[in-house]
Homo-oligomer: A and B are copies of this chain.
Amino acid sequence: MQSDNPTAAILVIGDEILSGRTREGNAHYLSQVLNSIGVDLREVRIVGDDHDQITAAIRALDCSLGGAWDMLFTSGGIGPTHDDITADAVAAAFGVGIEINEEARRVMVERWQARGVEVTGNRLRMARIPLGAALIPNAHSAAPGFHIGNTYVMAGVPEVFRAMVEAVVPGLPTGRPSVSEALEVLRPESDVADELRAVADAFPDLSLGSYPFQSGQRYGTSLVIRGLDDKRVTDAMTLLRERLAL
């Protein structure tokens, strides 16, 4: 699909994903949010709680560090325990120091005191923020995410991740959301490949995908046409229906 939309990557951090213990869902959620504001998600990476892997991935993915994409969103590893190493790895990737952020500390202490929770060193660990980063507030937990370069660092807990995404989205560069039309046919994929290719050739600005499914003993295919322009997508779907004699 041709597009001048801003591009993005997601970096998911956590041993529990790679071990199979937890099924990742934050990237799927964010992919839909990004699509709705016209940001083209181009890559997702999942790595473990490993300092060097996290640092290398940030450098590879954030264009402000010479990486491939306009924006990078990370999920996971900013909690209070020893295996939460994302903030340190981000600081290392950007070549900046990391220390207790006074604004983060103030917000967190206020919330904890209101709830009668003791302020401990482990809790304050979550206020350690790379120098130069801006905080990402969230309604759900006291601990903030942060934003440095073109990287947005967010929590892995799904409710908190979503709250941080909501806080971040209004400030993001946006593009034209893609629109799509889908058609299900009860024919195997290889049966409709010629027609699909003919339409793809006639509409090089659109993305045409085919996704096989099984319905009882019959093989079917979902045909999806995606693009930035409503009318082009509709015209392409009309041509596809004609070609398929539907």
CB–CB A45/B44 < 8 A: yes
CB–CB B35/A226 < 8 A: no
CB-CB contacts of A46-65 with B at 8 A, as 1s and 0s? 11111001000000000000
CB–CB A224/B16 < 8 A: yes
Tell me, rounded to whole Å, the shortest Cβ–Cβ distance linking A116 to chain B.
Answer: 13
- Partner pick for A16 among B19, B125, B209, CB 8 A cutoff: B209
Whether a CB of chain B sits under 8 angstroms from the CB of A24 is yes
CB–CB B44/A46 < 8 A: yes
- Partner pick for A83 among B122, B157, B210, CB 8 A cutoff: B210
Tell me, rounded to whole Å, the shortest Cβ–Cβ distance linking A57 to chain B.
Answer: 9
Contact status of A79 and B212, CB under 8 A, knowing A190-B120, A190-B126: yes
Question: Considering the complex, which residues of chain A in the window 59-109 have a beta carbon less than 8 Å from any beta carbon of chain B?
Answer: 79-83
Interface class of chain A by DSSP: mixed
Q: A238 contacts which chain B residues (CB < 8 A)?
A: none
CB–CB A80/B211 < 8 A: no
- Partner pick for A157 among B43, B125, B212, CB 8 A cutoff: B212
- Partner pick for A18 among B16, B31, B82, CB 8 A cutoff: B31
Give 16 A-B pairs besides A15-B209, A82-B197 with Cβ atoms closer than 8 angstroms: A18-B41, A18-B42, A18-B43, A19-B41, A20-B28, A20-B34, A20-B41, A21-B180, A45-B45, A79-B210, A80-B189, A80-B190, A81-B189, A81-B210, A83-B207, A117-B188
> Can you show 19 pairs from A to B with CB atoms below 8 A apart?
A16-B224, A18-B41, A19-B31, A19-B178, A20-B32, A21-B180, A22-B211, A23-B25, A24-B27, A27-B46, A42-B50, A44-B46, A49-B209, A81-B192, A83-B209, A83-B210, A120-B191, A122-B193, A125-B193
